[in-house]
């Protein structure tokens, strides 16, 4: 397995990117009345996961800062699940689609939780240069 060079190499980043795109596509079918509420909120929270992972990667030299950002990403992933529950309750997603999304975001949350537990392994070595890519 190749070494992780950038945040884009993280499986959790890749998974969240795929799922936020899938969610974007599914939310296109939400009613126009939801454009500035549910649709906007679920898109923002799902996309925020990736942004926070990228921020955490940039701050990984400082374990507390890294953990804080990954914890925020976890919160955004769970917020996404909450918005998905609302979409189900309003009939914008069927049970099967909701289960697929929920399972994916639960898995992303699990990966983020493991990152928090293993935060010290993400710190760069003292002699290494941090990648900006």
Q: What is the pLDDT of residue 5?
A: 87
Spatial CA neighbour of 49 closest among 73, 31, 70, 81: 73
Segments in the chain below pLDDT 70: 1-2, 127-133
Q: Rounded to whole angstroms, how far apart are CA atoms 20 and 24?
A: 6
Q: Rounded to whole angstroms, how far apart are CA atoms 113 and 57?
A: 15
Work out the burial of residue 1: count CB atoms within 10 Å of its CB; fewer than 13 is exposed, 13-18 middle, 19 or more buried.
exposed
Q: What is the pLDDT of residue 128?
A: 59
Q: What is the pLDDT of residue 1?
A: 55
Q: What is the pLDDT of residue 126?
A: 73
Torsion of CA 84, 87, 89, 93, to 10 degrees: -100
Q: What is the pLDDT of residue 132?
A: 53
Q: What is the pLDDT of residue 4?
A: 84
| pTM reported for the whole predicted model | 0.91
């Amino acid at each position: 397995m190749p070494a992780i060079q950038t945040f884009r190499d993280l499986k959790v980043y890749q998974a969240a990117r795929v799922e936020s795109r899938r969610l974007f596509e599914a939310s296109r079918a939400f009613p126009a009345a939801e454009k500035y509420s549910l649709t906007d909120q679920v898109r923002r929270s799902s996309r925020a996961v990736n942004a926070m992972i990228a921020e955490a990667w940039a701050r990984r030299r400082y374990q507390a800062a890294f953990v804080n950002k990954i914890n925020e990403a976890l919160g955004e992933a769970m917020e996404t699940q909450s918005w998905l529950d609302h979409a189900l309750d309003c009939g914008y997603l069927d049970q099967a689609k909701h289960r697929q999304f929920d399972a994916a975001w639960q898995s992303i949350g699990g990966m983020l939780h493991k990152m928090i537990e293993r935060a010290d392994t993400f710190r760069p070595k003292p002699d290494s240069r941090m990648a900006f890519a």
